[in-house]
């Protein structure tokens, strides 16, 4: 803005105040005044670790999920072995005269059904446990302000 030569006081007010005196010597001279940010930086958020129950739940889910997956894998392998043994006793015929082989075939089908259910349930439970554990040990805070956008993360064990 145009001003007359001489001494001029510039004031700015926000949550903080700033003032400076500028000397303009003659007409046509450009005097620049840079006013710093008058908004204080945001106070850091006090970080608190997650409650211990989250770690316990996460570890429990990982353990249950791994156990279910392992049991499903064992039952699946057992079903494969049972089907192989039944084929050895009965061949590829649709009917088998050996009652023990028919019973073993039925058990193999049950084991296969349990395996089909336990493996995906175990994977989902273990994945949920890993998610709970990662969020129990860390925190993420978005920071958006003038000229910045970032995600602060903190991780502890």
Question: For 9-43, what is each residue's pLDDT tens digit?
Answer: 988 887 788 888 888 888 778 888 888 888 777 77
Distances from the Cα of 32 to the Cα of 3, 7, 53, 108, 151, angstroms = 12, 13, 59, 87, 35
- The length of the chain in residues reads 157
Flag whether 94 is in a domain. Answer: yes
Flag whether 92 is in a domain. Answer: yes
Flag whether 62 is in a domain. Answer: yes
Specify the number of domains making up the chain.
Answer: 1
Flag whether 30 is in a domain. Answer: no
Give dist(CA 139, CA 118) in Å, integer: 32
Flag whether 121 is in a domain. Answer: yes
**Is 85 in contact with 92 (CB distance < 8 Å)?**
no
Question: For 37-77, what is each residue's pLDDT tens digit?
Answer: 887 777 776 666 667 788 889 999 999 999 999 999 999 99
Range of the domain at 64: 52-139+150-155
Flag whether 19 is in a domain. Answer: no
Flag whether 3 is in a domain. Answer: no
Helix, strand and coil in the chain, % to nearest 5? 50, 20, 30
Distance of CA 31 to the CA centre of its chain: 52
Flag whether 86 is in a domain. Answer: yes
**pTM for the model:** 0.55
Give dist(CA 87, CA 93) in Å, integer: 9
Give dist(CA 28, CA 33) in Å, integer: 16
Q: In terms of C-beta density within 10 A (0-12 exposed, 13-18 middle, 19 or more buried), how is residue 4 classed?
A: exposed
């Amino acid at each position: 803005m145009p001003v007359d030569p001489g001494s001029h006081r510039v004031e700015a007010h926000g949550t903080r105040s700033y003032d400076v005196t500028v000397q303009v010597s003659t007409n046509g001279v450009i005097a620049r005044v840079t006013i710093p940010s008058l908004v204080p930086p945001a106070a850091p958020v006090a970080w608190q670790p997650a409650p211990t129950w989250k770690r316990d739940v996460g570890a429990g889910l990982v353990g249950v999920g791994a156990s279910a997956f392992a049991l499903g894998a064992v039952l699946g392998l057992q079903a494969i072995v049972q089907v192989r043994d039944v084929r050895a006793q009965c061949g590829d015929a649709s009917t088998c005269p050996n009652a023990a082989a028919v019973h073993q075939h039925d058990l193999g089908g049950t084991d296969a059904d349990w395996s089909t259910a336990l493996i995906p349930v175990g994977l989902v439970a273990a994945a949920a446990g890993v998610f709970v554990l990662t969020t129990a040990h860390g925190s993420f805070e978005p920071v958006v302000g003038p000229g910045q956008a970032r995600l602060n993360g903190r991780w502890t064990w």
